[in-house]
Structures are given as structure tokens and as C-alpha cells.
Chains A and B, each alone.
Chain A
Amino acid sequence: AQSVTQLGSHVSVSEGALVLLRCNYSSSVPPYLFWYVQYPNQGLQLLLKYTSAATLVKGINGFEAEFKKSETSFHLTKPSAHMSDAAEYFCAVRTDTGRRALTFGSGTRLQVQP
């Protein structure tokens, strides 16, 4: 069975500091991995995705993530946090090769302090 673990339900950083949100996964099939962002009172928006091409993936709003197979990780980073980055972030892995469903982590709420 596929699963996703996001370490830290809340992360707080100062504006301009590095953002690091952690995601570890387990998957019995070659993983396709995703990061989504949810702003208050909105649905989820895709930040970036890994689908077996380049291991370093760049997304929107300056975010990127690196797929590390040996560590079964897909951590999300941004060099310099902005106040507008405050949101909840979800990591997801494809459930299997047939169902087209995703398994989501429990989410990490990012706070950005001025």
C-alpha cells in the first residue's frame, strides 16, 4: 500500500528564510509524487510533480523539490520565504498504476513571520 508521511504539522519561518517541508513516501509501484498548496478557504493547487524524469523538479512560486529514491523522500524547498507563502501544503503519491487516485499526506501548515 502507498503512504505519505509529512513531518511537522506546523512549520514557522521568518520572511526571507529557507523553507523546507518534509515528505517521505512508501510505494509498491514506481512513484509519481506531487506537492499541492491550499490557501485559506480555497481548493488545492498543484505546485509541482515528479513523474520519473528529472529528479530535481521546479514548480510555481519559486518552489522546488528533489526526488531521492534511496531516502524515499520528496522534500519541498524555497530559498526565501514570502508572506504570501503562508498556506497548507500537501504531499501526494499515486495510489497505484490503475486507479488514477492519489494518496495524500496529512499536510503541513506553513507560517511566515515578518
Chain B
Amino acid sequence: DVKVTQSSRYLVKRTGEKVFLECVQDMDHENMFWYRQDPGLGLRLIYFSYDVKMKEKGDIPEGYSVSREKKERFSLILESASTNQTSMYLCASSARRTSGSLSYEQYFGPGTRLTVT
């Protein structure tokens, strides 16, 4: 089974702190994603990466950065946390191809509920 793990289930940080959220997948997937989930808004894509050291902005990248130094690990960084970044953060991964066809199926971690006070 694909396993995607996230470093913390719950995190409480203060405004202005630098926050690191870590995600690790064990299936050798090329693609990794960070979403935030807010009630009534569904999942919104923050950043994604399709290879080591490669990244692309999603729909809401402002206030966030990412790092992918190893294939299995994708980090989300909040440079200076603000209260409007209080949210559930979900990491996901997907293979580039499955059975020779392009793949879009994503596997999710359990999420990190971040509270910024």
C-alpha cells in the first residue's frame, strides 16, 4: 500500500514564526502536492512538485514556499505564519504513469491541523 506520512497531526504556532510541514511518501512517486483544506472551500492547491528540486505554484501560493531535495520528501514552509494560515494541510503524491498511461490518482497523508495564534 502507498503510504504518505506527515510529520505532525496537530501543530500550534505563534504569529510570525517560521513553520515547516514535512511529508514523506514511500512509493517512489514523482509527483507531490500540498493542499490546504478549509470548510466550504474544499481542497486548494498550494504548490506541487513533479521531480526533485522542481516546483510549481498552485492556486494559492502566497505566503508559502516548498522544498524538494529528495524524491520521497516534500516540505511546506510558512516563512512568517499568520492567523489566516490556520487550516488543515494535506500532502499527496502520485505516480507519473501507471501501467503505461498517464496517472492522476493521488494518495493522501492524514493531514496536519495547524493553528496560528
Chain A residues within 8 Å of B, Cβ to Cβ: 4, 9, 32, 34, 36, 41-46, 49, 51, 90, 94, 97, 99-107
Contacts and interface: CB of A to CB of B under 8 A. Distances in A.
A32 B110 contact: no
B42 A32 contact: no
Given A43-B108, A44-B90, A104 B102 contact: no
Q: Chain B contact residues: over half helix, strand or loop, or mixed?
A: strand
A102 B44 CA distance: 9
A106 B40 contact: yes
A99 B102 CA distance: 11
Contacts, number: 61
Interface string B32-43: 010100001111
A81 to B, nearest CB: 23
Nearest to B104: A94
A87 to B, nearest CB: 14
A101 B48 contact: yes
Interface string B56-75: 10100000000000000000
A49 B105 contact: yes
Contacts of B104: 32, 34, 49, 51, 94, 100, 102
Given A44-B92, A100-B50, A101-B45, 14 more contacts: A4-B42, A36-B108, A41-B110, A43-B90, A43-B111, A45-B108, A51-B101, A99-B48, A100-B31, A100-B96, A100-B103, A106-B40, A107-B40, A107-B42
B102 A43 contact: no
A61 to B, nearest CB: 17
Given A42-B111, A43-B4, A102 B42 contact: no
A72 to B, nearest CB: 18
Nearest to A32: B104
